[in-house]
């Protein structure tokens, strides 16, 4: 079965390419490298021994995307491509709405042209509204989102759901990611954010490797055990395996199904700092800073549905997430550069 990964050179896309390939799927990658590096393809070849067909295209460009489908018999698509920086989305909302939604519309239109009926979409736990109670379950009310990035995820979920309803033989799986961290065990691929990282673990990694002096802990007065924010961190390899399970499920079903991909466990910022210190073998300097606007105290998944229906569950512990993150960061202090 041949699967197209839009945004397949990115952090989650590249790890998913590895897992799909190890399960015998053929992978085709489309990426415009706006937030990824072409060198990832060489690394993927080293890990898998396979050379994946690559299309350097913008997925919103229908003519370019049509060529991918003409040249490959694509049976399913995993749609990762999209802008994903929360803060940036607040500053340039139109470009987020234009790009993320256009890309999805073009993709589904071309899938329809070629009779491709299986779609897996990268959504996010950010679609759960502030009113939702913990742990977050798939059937809970969504929105209102706190930023345009989150709204694009929610709007795209709606577009896909409506399309699947109107086309009963179409199969869509929406995956709501919690906080992906870690890297492939080889240390060849990992997370490489542009500039100063916004997310916790990439920031800690840069402090650990000596590129940044200390971590700012955004608030220690939340109603959590140690006062710092609690999140559901998931190893990117576990997350990637969740996509393999989703593809198997999509191929055998129709309609839209939504799954959380998380561990179900909440870890605080300070617990993460301690786990990372163990992994890298030295102290991570930090300072308590004011709360970051838009942050919440707790966010973690009810991960039962994915286990019951997909037979998928996470395997990696927080210590293993930090070990693999450090393995990648220490071998590649400047990321892919
Ligand atoms: C954010 C986004 C989510 C996105 C995810 C990517 C929201 C509400 N959440 O999640 O949509 O999918 O990034 O992984 O928009 N922290 C610090 N210091 C730092 C960085 C973070 O203390 O330098 C704390 C935060 O306050 C939070 C925790 O670490 O408590 C995790 O933050 P982060 O990694 O940015 O992820 P989220 O905000 O949960």
Query: Ligand 1 pocket, 123 CB below 6 A?
Result: no
Query: Ligand 1 pocket, 217 CB below 6 A?
Result: yes
pLDDT band at 44 (very low <50, low <70, confident <90, very high): very high
Q: Which residue owns the Cα nearest ligand 1 atom 21?
A: 200
Average pLDDT, integer, range 32-49: 97
* Weakest mean pLDDT among 55-59, 142-146, 309-313: 142-146
Q: Which atom of ligand 1 is nearest to the CA of 218?
A: 22
pLDDT at position 111 is 98
Average pLDDT, integer, range 118-147: 93
Separation of CA 198 and ligand 1 centre (Å) = 7
Q: Which residue owns the Cα nearest ligand 1 atom 33?
A: 199
pLDDT, tens digit, 9 for 90 and up, residues 215-248:
999 999 999 999 999 999 999 999 999 999 999 9
**Pocket residue to mutate for ligand 1, from 147, 180, 183, 292, most atoms within 8 A of Cβ:** 292
pLDDT at position 294 is 85
Nearest alpha carbon to residue 292 among 244, 245, 231, 242:
231
Query: Ligand 1 pocket, 179 CB below 6 A?
Result: yes
337 or 219: which leads in pLDDT: 219
Whether 149 is catalytic is: yes
Average pLDDT, integer, range 5-16: 98
Q: Is the pLDDT of residue 131 over 90?
A: no
Q: What is the distance between the alpha carbons of residues 295 and 130, in angstroms, rounded to a whole number? A: 10
The DSSP 8-state label assigned to residue 36 in this structure reads S
pLDDT band at 208 (very low <50, low <70, confident <90, very high): very high
The label of the residue with tokens 């071309």 reads 110
Residue 53 near residue 101 (C-beta atoms within 8 A): no
pLDDT band at 132 (very low <50, low <70, confident <90, very high): confident
Average pLDDT, integer, range 185-204: 96
- Residues ≥6 apart with Cβ < 8 Å to 261: 175, 176, 177, 178, 234, 238, 239, 242, 301, 303, 306, 312
Q: Is the pLDDT of residue 47 over 90?
A: yes
pLDDT > 90 fraction of the chain, expressed in percent and rounded:
96
Separation of CA 228 and ligand 1 centre (Å) = 12
Select which of 25, 55, 149, 276 is catalytic. Answer: 149
pLDDT at position 129 is 79
Residue 209 near residue 333 (C-beta atoms within 8 A): yes
pLDDT, tens digit, 9 for 90 and up, residues 55-108:
999 999 999 999 999 999 999 999 999 999 999 999 999 999 999 999 999 999
pLDDT > 70 fraction of the chain, expressed in percent and rounded:
100
Query: Ligand 1 pocket, 114 CB below 6 A?
Result: no
Query: Ligand 1 pocket, 236 CB below 6 A?
Result: no
Give the predicted TM-score (pTM) of the model. Answer: 0.97
Largest CA distance in the chain: 56
Separation of CA 308 and ligand 1 centre (Å) = 28
pLDDT at position 264 is 98
Query: Ligand 1 pocket, 186 CB below 6 A?
Result: no
Virtual torsion, Cα 280, 283, 288, 289, nearest 10 deg: -50
Separation of CA 218 and ligand 1 centre (Å) = 10
Q: Which residue owns the Cα nearest ligand 1 atom 1?
A: 199
What DSSP string describes 157-208?
Answer: HHHHHHHHHHSTT-EEEEEEE-EEE---TTSSS----SSS--SHHHHHHHHH
Query: Ligand 1 pocket, 199 CB below 6 A?
Result: yes
pLDDT band at 130 (very low <50, low <70, confident <90, very high): confident
Q: Which atom of ligand 1 is nearest to the CA of 292?
A: 26
């Amino acid at each position: 079965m041949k699967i197209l990964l839009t945004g397949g050179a990115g952090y989650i896309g590249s790890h998913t390419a590895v897992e799909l390939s190890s399960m015998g799927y053929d992978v085709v990658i489309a990426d415009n490298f706006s937030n990824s590096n072409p060198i990832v393809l060489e690394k993927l070849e080293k890990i898998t021994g396979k050379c994946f067909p690559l299309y350097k295209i913008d997925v919103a460009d229908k003519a370019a995307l049509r060529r991918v489908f003409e040249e490959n018999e694509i049976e399913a698509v995993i749609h990762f491509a999209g802008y994903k920086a929360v803060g940036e989305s607040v500053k340039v909302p139109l470009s987020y709405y234009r790009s993320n939604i256009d890309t999805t519309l073009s993709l589904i239109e071309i899938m329809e042209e070629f009779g491709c009926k299986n779609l897996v979409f990268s959504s996010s736990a950010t679609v759960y509204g502030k009113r939702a109670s913990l742990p977050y379950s798939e059937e809970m009310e969504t929105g209102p989102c706190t930023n345009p990035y989150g709204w694009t995820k929610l709007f795209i979920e709606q577009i896909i759901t409506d399309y699947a309803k109107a086309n009963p033989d179409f199969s869509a799986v929406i995956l709501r990611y919690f906080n992906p961290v870690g890297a492939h065990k080889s240390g060849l691929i990992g997370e490489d954010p542009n500039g100063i990282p916004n997310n916790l673990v990439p920031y800690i990694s840069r402090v650990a490797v000596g590129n940044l002096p200390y971590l700012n802990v955004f608030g220690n007065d939340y109603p959590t055990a140690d006062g710092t924010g609690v999140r559901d961190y998931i190893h990117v390899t576990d997350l990637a395996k969740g996509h393999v399970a989703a593809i198997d499920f999509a191929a055998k079903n129709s309609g839209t199904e939504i799954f959380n991909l998380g561990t179900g466990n909440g870890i605080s910022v300070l617990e993460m700092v301690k786990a990372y210190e163990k992994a890298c073998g030295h102290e991570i300097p930090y300072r308590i800073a004011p709360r970051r606007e838009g942050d919440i105290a707790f966010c973690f998944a009810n991960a039962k549905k994915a286990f019951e229906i997909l037979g998928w569950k996470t395997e990696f512990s927080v210590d293993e997430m930090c070990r693999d993150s450090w393995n990648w960061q220490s071998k590649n202090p400047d990321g892919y550069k």
